Each structure stands twice: as structure tokens, then as C-alpha cells.
Amino acid sequence: MPFGQLMSEFGSAGNGGWVHSVSFSASGNRLAWVSHDSIVSVVDASKNTSISLLKTEFLPLLSVTFVSENSVIAAGHDCCPMLFSLDDHGSLTFVSKLDIPKQSTQRNISAMERFRNMDKRATTEDRKTTLDTLHQNSITQVSIYEGDKADCRKFCTTGIDGAMTIWDFKVSFLLFLIFIYI
């Protein structure tokens, strides 16, 4: 096609949320995007540009990238990278959150220490102020760190909290599979 010519245009099947991020697959046959209405979309040029949409129950996703020809990782306001898979029939499914929450350790604190903590916060409740995820605020970017879009081994997330986290994709996915089958 000539440079600057519109190749295709896709409408939204949802409420019409604006697009936050797009990513082409390694082959260039698939295009994924995430929109503000919490929909993950993938279009496949090898299947007559059929669109697969998945309306998620998550907060809006801000970034998406292909990590294999059939898998994308997206992240956003839920502060956790998520894996989505596209099967051979063109069906898009949510696979898993990739940030396994760390186990919190409750320690016994004295009445005096509890009173001091309540006095510092000017409240009578002991509120939890941290999330169970590594990122403590929205993830704004997902990038491949090691490998490529055909075979990602590690990926990187950066967020509004100023954190940059490098994830071992193969290990994260294997831990998820073990967690499901236990």
C-alpha cells in the first residue's frame, strides 16, 4: 500500500473508550489494543481482519505488548500485569494475573505500639495502606526486556509509583500453572 493510506479502521463494540496502547505481533499479522472501557482487542489480518474482544472486569489497562504470537501482556490501573491468550479459533481469553501476592506476616504488637500508631494517623482504625502487588500505583508501560515479541523471556513494567520491575515471564507463567493445579 502507498505510504499514508488508511489500511483499515476498527470501531469499538463497547462504550467507545479511547485507546491507550497498541502492539503488533512479531509476524505483523495481529494487532492488539487496550481501551479505557476495559476491553482488550486483537485483530487478525490472516483471518479477514476478524476482531476478538474481551470485556474485562478489571480497571482500565494502559499498556499492552505481544510476548508470543498468541499471547499478550497488558497492565494498567490494577497495578498488576495480566496475561491474555488468543487461541486458533480467534477467541481471546484471560489467563492470569502475573503478580502473585506476597504473603503478609502479621506480628503481635503491644498495646502501647498500637496506641502510638493510631495517634500518628489520627484514627482509631488500623488501616492497610499498601497493595498486595509489587507496583503500588498504575502501571503505565509494559516492554520486552529479554527476547522478542515471538519469544519473550523477560519483560519490564514501569509505573506511576516510580517502580521499574523486571519479570521473568517463563518462571511467572510456570508458577501460575503450578498454582492452578495445586
pTM for the model: 0.78
Higher pLDDT: 95 or 175? It is 95
Q: What is the 3-state secondary structure (H, E, C) of 144-171?
A: EEEEECCEEEEEEEEECCCCEEEEEHHH
Q: What is the second-level CATH architecture of the domain 19-181?
A: 7 Propeller (2.130)
* Mean pLDDT in residue range 69-91: 92
Distances (CA, A) of 102 to 99, 131, 132, 167: 9, 10, 6, 15
Split at pLDDT 50, 70, 90, the class of 182 is very low
pLDDT in tens, 144-163: 999 999 989 999 999 999 99
Q: What percent of the chain has pLDDT over 90?
A: 52
Domain ranges for the chain: 19-181
